[in-house]
Amino acid sequence: MYWREWLKTMVWALIILGVLNMWVFNISTVKGQSMQPTLVQQERLFINKFIYKFHPPARGDVIILHDPVLSEQPTSKLLVKRVIAIGGDRIEIRNHEVYINQIKQQEPYIDTVIGDVDLAPIIVPEGQYYVMGDNRHQGMSKDSRIFGTISLKQIVGRADFIIWPLSKTALL
């Protein structure tokens, strides 16, 4: 009879973990180079899927989103990006640097100026977000410069911290 209790406990634990994974948190693996130097390939991230039920994404948040280019497919690829501008912001890329509301942004998380072409000023629509990868070398990030702004419904959650490898554990 001991094995029945053990089995019942394991089933309940799996059900609880499944529900938490579906609605509250997720673990995601970094693939690609678009967020270097902040995140590198194969790092594991703790994704808070619940946070945006209470408040909207903020500038600087590292988020996981469904790839807007592939969003028509049922198993859309996920991307990790940083929120650069929010609804109502005026964003432009001038002289290879980001300006929000005509103020040059200090971005300590990047290691180079933007290698791609400059971007004429645009106003981010209300309820939309402009996202970019931290890797600003030419052509290294598929982000809002390619697919435009995104909505909250495209965002899976906020990457709160690196959980693996243990030597790189850190808040984002």
Which of 76, 77, 81, 151 is flagged as catalytic?
81
If 0-12 CB within 10 Å is exposed, 13-18 middle and 19+ buried, where does residue 80 land?
buried
Catalytic annotation, pick one of 28, 31, 34, 141 = 34
In this structure, what is the dihedral angle of CA atoms 158, 109, 86, 26, given to the nearest 10 degrees? -10
Q: Which two tokens stand for residue 134?
A: 């931290």
Known catalytic membership, residue 28:
no
**Catalytic residue flag (residue 31):** no
Distance (Å) of CA 158 to CA 27, 47, 65, 115 = 11, 5, 9, 26
| Residues involved in catalysis | 34, 81
